[in-house]
Chain A
């Protein structure tokens, strides 16, 4: 995946059918130093994404034509770009649908500008800044090369989105420690005093489906009942 040059302002693709809101977002993002592009329909979103190559997509969940969840899936199929959903429905099922389709985070309407900007900055920072400290980490039978941003099982590389990589890294850095969902929310998503643990649950599920041999019986990301999750014991790959 090609990224925009470091010096250029981060690019944000805004997919929202409400023109007033889209324009407002354009104004606000512009004043915060981002380069934003608008797209008003779900049908045109993938085309706009390919053409614009943004660093982050702000995606409304309810769109005429192809809806946000589908667009999210389309983009995820070809890129690990950060996707933040804008949703008017914070009901469990809608949010979970969006997260399951591959969105990294969501902001519920009506949001405060600062809240949105904070979410965007967190996602971009995670994306851009590589983890500097240790280089090689083991979790279960996986090897994480932090600087390379790769995860391997034996010779095979497993492709993860930056967010999934961060989540796995957070667990692998302190093996044997059980993480509460709240701690993970703060470490990976940058939330403080966050209450929505659905983000963690859905992404752990997505991550497990990529890295576990049997996602029904996870060995790499283990559930700690009543607490949260912890890394599985490091093992040599079989």
Chain B
């Protein structure tokens, strides 16, 4: 992955579908165009050269047969063969030069007669050998060189033999210039190349546009999916284009509708739940109020009752408290579950809150001979819901008193730049790490056989955890059997800010001392 991303082209390849399509098309097009171009050039060059060769051979053949006829009818008594040949060669040369058609070279054992200025290597050795081997006409391409300053020209050599009576055959060579044909071929080649380049550019652009056209609905689908993911369930794609694309849009829209329906259903359920909680609240609380007031009337007159009625009245009052606490906690939990809990934010000094809650639990602490100490440092003002934070602290403090075995309890309050933490440290029975993961579970109890002074509902820590989360904060539990426990509440200094860390360690600093001692 890292290697991939180090190369920008590869990264583009792996990320951009249009890029992939364009590159693939381009590669295929280059191969096909190169093959076609080569074939085209080959065919035209072959055709043109074959035509030239044919014409040249026909021309040469005509000249040769003329010369041959002339030579055969020469009366060797009046003229020597070589003279005759020389004259014929001159004539042929002049004719060739007149039409700017060809050069002629006749090789006699004595001399070479022909067009002036021709370099002898213009006639390849291979054709010399061929011409010596028999009758007929031969042709081969060559490069016509000159002994003077004229530039080299591509050309064609046609070779034949002249048969003079009583003499060895004279080879005669016709050199036809093919410059014109080569020039034509060059033009064809240029045209082919230019066509190829235009084709490639056009093809690239077209393919790119097509890729975009195909991708547009895919992109629209992606955007629609992102909209859905971010909760805009009412967004729909436009159903347009070909069957496939319209189908994609239809499927996406169908999915969105189904999601929307499901979520609306769940929301309705949640609303029903909230409504139910609210109704239960009212319906249960009103009779409970009446019962409670009646119980209080009875309770205030309990001295006038006999022993059984008196104790019954006391039990009634005590259990009503418990019942009410349970009802309150249950409703609170239901509110969290329904997502109906709201924060009433205010700037609050958590040191002050902790101090007040400790003072409020002083009576309970005295009953178990527990010493409560407040240890505070730094600026501890945070934007919180004071009622909820009080409830959390009350819970943690009463919990610590209940499980603290009468040993001292310290409440640490610390603030740093981003967060404020309150940690309640006791030195009581503590708990194992396994139990520590369960303390926030609803109705969970460490040791069911243990007696309880405080009469908690078993929901206290669950509610505290929800309260902490509602603030965007956290609640951590640390415990060690025999070494006590620490519950640490951390809330961001400003509501809705993300929590980075905590100003107080999750494991109490004095814990190690206890473990080593």
Chain B residue at minimum C-beta to C-beta distance from A28? B293
CA distance A175 to B469 in the complex (A): 39
Cβ of B386 under 8 Å from chain A: yes
Contacts A92-B342, A193-B360; A24 near B285 (Cβ below 8 A): no
Whether the pair B289, A111 counts as a contact (CB closer than 8 A) is yes
User: Which residues of A approach B to under 8 Å, CB–CB?
Assistant: 18, 20-21, 24-25, 27-28, 31, 62, 88-89, 91-93, 109-114, 181, 193, 195-198, 225-227
Chain B residue at minimum C-beta to C-beta distance from A27? B297
CB-defined A-B contacts under 8 Å, sample of 11: A20-B290, A21-B286, A25-B293, A88-B285, A88-B286, A89-B282, A91-B342, A92-B342, A93-B342, A113-B292, A113-B293
CA distance A198 to B345 in the complex (A): 10
Contacts A21-B286, A62-B282; A91 near B386 (Cβ below 8 A): no
Given contacts A25-B293, A110-B289, A110-B324, 8 further A-B contacts (CB under 8 A): A21-B290, A28-B293, A92-B344, A109-B286, A110-B288, A181-B346, A197-B344, A225-B347
Cβ of B99 under 8 Å from chain A: no
Report, nearest first, the 9 A-B pairs whose CB atoms are least far apart.
A226-B347, A88-B282, A109-B285, A88-B285, A110-B289, A110-B288, A21-B290, A109-B289, A195-B387
Whether the pair B290, A18 counts as a contact (CB closer than 8 A) is yes
Which chain B positions have C-beta within 8 A of A225? Answer: 347
Best-buried of B281, B289, B293, B294 by chain A (most CB within 10 Å): B289
Interface of chain B, main secondary structure: helix
Minimum distance in angstroms from B364 CB to a CB of chain A: 15
Cβ of B52 under 8 Å from chain A: no
Chain B residue at minimum C-beta to C-beta distance from A181? B346
Whether the pair A24, B335 counts as a contact (CB closer than 8 A) is no
Minimum distance in angstroms from B302 CB to a CB of chain A: 15
Which chain A positions have C-beta within 8 A of B292? Answer: 110-113
Whether the pair B344, A193 counts as a contact (CB closer than 8 A) is no
Which chain B positions have C-beta within 8 A of A198? Answer: 344
Best-buried of A31, A112, A225 by chain B (most CB within 10 Å): A112
Chain B residue at minimum C-beta to C-beta distance from A60? B286
Whether the pair B386, A113 counts as a contact (CB closer than 8 A) is no
Cβ of B269 under 8 Å from chain A: no
CA distance A113 to B292 in the complex (A): 8
Minimum distance in angstroms from B339 CB to a CB of chain A: 13
The 8 Å CB contact of A28, one of B285, B286, B297, is B297
Which chain B positions have C-beta within 8 A of A114? Answer: 296
Which chain A positions have C-beta within 8 A of B211? Answer: none
Contacts A28-B297, A91-B335, A91-B340; A197 near B386 (Cβ below 8 A): yes
Which chain A positions have C-beta within 8 A of B346? Answer: 181, 197
Minimum distance in angstroms from B326 CB to a CB of chain A: 12
